[in-house]
Amino acid sequence: MVLVAWAACSVFLLAITAYHKGPWRGKVIDAKTKQPIEGAAVVAEWVKDFTGPAGVATDFFDAAETRTDKNGEFRISSKWFINIIPFITGIGGPYFTIYKPGYGYFPRYQVSPQNISPDLFEGKGGVVELSELKLKTREEYLKYFPELQYVVMRDGDQNKIKYFIKLQNEEIKFENSKDTK
């Protein structure tokens, strides 16, 4: 009986995986002027993948948020992940979104880098160039905005991205005020 309990505990402990990643760093600049963009929201999102009979399903796991400083730089601290059943689930990410009202968001609308590497923000970090996004009509804005909302936190804890949401709400108010003038 003791041998069976020991074997069961051993299998369970072997199934637990803990690993450390990060930190992540970067710099965000204006593509035209090459000047730093201060106050951009930077969101890192991790997802968990479940493999089952129907295939792979992805769901929110965790997120971290920061903002760029006066030099356009940001840093997201290291994270420890514990995966209890690595044979069934995996942790993917971080997947980054960088957003500042008036600019196209990263990763869809950045000018550079052209090819986004999964480790872009690891080590010394990467530089992202964002260009101004000149939306001329309400229809253009309505097409762009839901796309941006979907990119971040499809199912996650909205409290982890408060600054990102604040910036979105400011842009919505600004765009709505254009309609009333």
* pLDDT (0 to 100) of residue 138: 65
pTM: 0.78
Is the pLDDT score of 4 beyond 90? no
Maximum CA extent, the chain: 79
Is the pLDDT score of 181 beyond 50? no
Residues above pLDDT 70, as percent of the chain: 68
| Ramachandran region, residue 159 (left: φ > 0; alpha: ψ -120 to 50; beta: rest) | alpha
- Mean pLDDT, range 41-58, rounded to an integer: 81
Fold of 18-180: Immunoglobulin-like (2.60.40)
The CA–CA distances, whole Å, from 14 to 1, 33, 48, 60, 125 equal: 20, 53, 19, 25, 34
Residues above pLDDT 90, as percent of the chain: 22
Structural domain boundaries in the chain: 18-180
Which of the two residues, 171 and 123, has the higher pLDDT score?
Answer: 123
Q: Which of the residue ranges 14-18, 89-93, 141-145, 163-167 has the most confident prediction, judged by mean pLDDT?
A: 163-167
**Strand runs (DSSP E) across 101-145, as ranges?**
110-112, 126-130
| CA gap 116, 109 in Å, rounded | 12
Is the pLDDT score of 55 beyond 70? yes
